[in-house]
Structure 1
Amino acid sequence: MQQQNHEQEVFHVADIAPRPTARSWKIMLPAWALLIGLGWLGLHYGLDAKLVAGGMVLFGLVSSAFAWLLGVIGLVPIAGPLILKILAIPFIWLLNAIGYLVSFIAIRRGYSKDVLTYRGLTIALLVGIVIGYILGKLI
């Protein structure tokens, strides 16, 4: 039998105080401060508003700052989940409405086979969004 070492650590430092991850407020709060600060500086020094907005959107998407903000909004009791549902449902309605509009125009021009392919891709995208939402809630 092996002899147990009594000097062996019971807890590792990494288990007691895990390092902040990209989803942590210790990372995202300064990221949001940086995002807002750079946006304000860009507008203050006269940069094009479209360029500043595009940069802010790109930074927010790359750093997952928007997803973190939606998560923080969702933490507010009673009102938070309702706000998230209000923000999420119009996006899916918009995708579906664009699909119907493009389908109508394409069928009138004689692209009925392409419409079937497009509608299949749209349904696959919506199913992917729903699966991603469910996995995001589980993880």
Structure 2
Amino acid sequence: MSVPPKPETPPANDAPEGVLTRRTPWWRNWKVMLPLWLGIAVLVGLGLHFNVDRGVIAGSVVAIGLISNAFAWLLGVIALVPVIGPVIVKVLSIGFIWLLNAVGYLVSYIAIRRGYSKDVLTYRGLTVAIIIGIVIGFVLGKLI
């Protein structure tokens, strides 16, 4: 009984024979993600130039970003900046700020529908000021 010959395949990444190499997943490869982000930027620019509805543009960017893990890659790139990069990533990923902002938008929508648009502007400005204060305090607390 004879053993069939092994097919000859070249080693990946010019590694010596017998050495296992691990390929980077496509969502971590900068050669994929950088053109993806450039494409998103170009499409957003074209959409704004041709007066496409901003909700459609935002929804498309969120859908593409979530499907392709582009947001995670961008946060990883930001985290590479020494000292301030990891702090920025931590601030952007604080769930409390995201939750506060989401509740603010929901309340704004309801208040505007009931005719309180001037009050909404006042409290949204106050909310943005509070969020900026929290972020500045968090950054200063991490740096000091």
TM-score, normalised via structure 1 length? 0.54
Q: Give the Cα–Cα distance (whole angstroms) in 1 for the partners of residues 98 and 44 of structure 2.
A: 28
Do structure 1's residue 27 and structure 2's residue 27 form an aligned pair? no
Comparing both chains, which one has the higher relative contact order based on Cα–Cα distances under 8 Å and sequence gaps of 6 or more? 2
Alignment of 1:1-40 (within 5 A): 12-14=11-13, 16=15, 18=23, 21-40=26-45
Q: Return 5+ residue gaps in structure 2 as ranges.
A: 1-7, 16-20, 103-144
Distance 1:94 1:45, change over 3 A: closer
Secondary structure of the 1:22 match is helix
Residue matched to 1:64 = 69
Contact residue 20 and residue 27 of structure 1 kept, 8 A: no
Amino acid of the structure 2 residue aligned with 1:69: L
**Equivalent residue pairs, number:** 90
TM-score, normalised via structure 2 length? 0.52
Alignment of 1:97-136 (within 5 A): none
Aligned-pair RMSD on alpha carbons? 3.1
* Superposed displacement of residue 26, structure 1: 0.3
Among candidates 42, 53, 60, match of residue 48 of structure 1? 53
Q: Return 5+ residue gaps in structure 1 as ranges.
A: 1-7, 99-139
* Superposed displacement of residue 13, structure 1: 2.2
Residue matched to 2:78 = 73
Q: Give the Cα–Cα distance (whole angstroms) in 1 for the partners of residues 98 and 43 of structure 2.
A: 31
Q: Give the Cα–Cα distance (whole angstroms) in 1 for the partners of residues 75 and 48 of structure 2.
A: 25
The percentage of aligned residue pairs carrying the same residue is: 45
